[in-house]
A = this chain, B = another copy of it.
Amino acid sequence: MLRNIRKEELKEQIFLQSMALFQEKGFDNVTVEEITRACGIAKGTFYNYFPKKEAILLHLGMLQMESAKESLKRYDNLESLKEKLNFLFQDLFARFSIYPDLARLTIAEMMRSSLLIQAELSMVELFQSELEVLIEAGKKKGQVLEQLTASDVAAVVAGVYFYCLMVWASSDMGADEMRATFERRFEVVWGGICPKLDVGGERA
C-alpha cells in the first residue's frame, strides 16, 4: 500500500513540527491546533496519528531507545559486560542531553505511561528486557554471580539508571556530572553483581 508510506510520512512531519514548536515555546505553551496548523491539517487529524498530545514525547523516547539499541551493536565485540552496559548508558545519556528541556518531559512521560497505560509493553519494561538479554549472555560467560537471575540484575541496573535520569532531569545538573554520578553508582551495584572482578580491579 502506498497509503502506508504517506501515513508514516505525515506522522513524521507531525512529530518534527511538534518538536520544533516544543523547543521554541515549551510543551505547555503549544496547542494541538498550533501543531496541526503548522502541518496544514485539521486538528482532528492529529489524533489519527497520536492518541494524545503527550504521545509525541513517548515517540521521542522510543526513537532514542531504538537508536541506542542500534548503537549497542557496535559494542557487541566487547568482552566485558560491565563495559558494554556502561557504553549503553553513556549513549542514552548523550541522547537525552540533545534536547535537555524536553528530556525531563520525555522521561516523566515515559515513567507516567509505564505506570498508567495498560499497553501490552511499556517502554520501561521493554528496556529491562533488552538489558536482560545482555546480562544473560554475560552470566553465561561467568561475569555475573551464579545465584542471581538476569531479571533481577537487569531490574537493579535499570532502577539505578532511571533514578539517575530522574534526578538529573529535575535538577540543573549538567550531562557530564550526571554521567560521573551514574558511573559511581553503577560501580556500587556492580560490586553486588560480580564482586570477584572488583577484588582484582581498580579499587583500593
Quick check: A195 and B195 within 8 Å, CB to CB? Answer: yes
This chain: how many copies in the complex? Answer: 2
- Using known A-B contacts A155-B185, A156-B160, determine if residue A115 contacts B108 with beta carbons closer than 8 Å: yes
Task: Give residues of chain A (66-84) contacting chain B, Cβ–Cβ below 8 Å.
Answer: none
Quick check: A115 and B159 within 8 Å, CB to CB? Answer: no
Quick check: B156 and A111 within 8 Å, CB to CB? Answer: no
Where chain A touches its partner, the secondary structure class is helix
Query: A166: CB under 8 A from chain B?
Result: yes
Quick check: B189 and A188 within 8 Å, CB to CB? Answer: yes
Quick check: A185 and B166 within 8 Å, CB to CB? Answer: no
Q: List chain B residues, Cβ under 8 A from A203.
A: 147
Compute how far the CA of A159 lies from the CA of B105 in the bound complex, rounded to whole angstroms: 19
Quick check: A116 and B105 within 8 Å, CB to CB? Answer: yes
Contact with B along A152-179 (1 / 0, CB 8 A): 1101101111111011011000000000
Query: A97: CB under 8 A from chain B?
Result: no
Set B111, B115, B164, B192: member contacting A191, Cβ < 8 A = B192
- Residue tally, chain A, CB below 8 Å to B: 44
- Using known A-B contacts A163-B155, A170-B114, A170-B122, determine if residue A188 contacts B195 with beta carbons closer than 8 Å: no
CB proximity of A99 to chain B, nearest CB, Å:
14
Contact with B along A136-163 (1 / 0, CB 8 A): 0000000001011100110110111111
Q: List chain B residues, Cβ under 8 A from A166.
A: 111, 114-115, 124, 162
Chain B residue at smallest Cβ distance from A190: B192
Q: List residues of chain A with CB under 8 Å of any chain B CB.
A: 104-105, 107-108, 111-112, 114-116, 122, 124-125, 145, 147-149, 152-153, 155-156, 158-164, 166-167, 169-170, 181, 184-185, 187-193, 195, 203-204
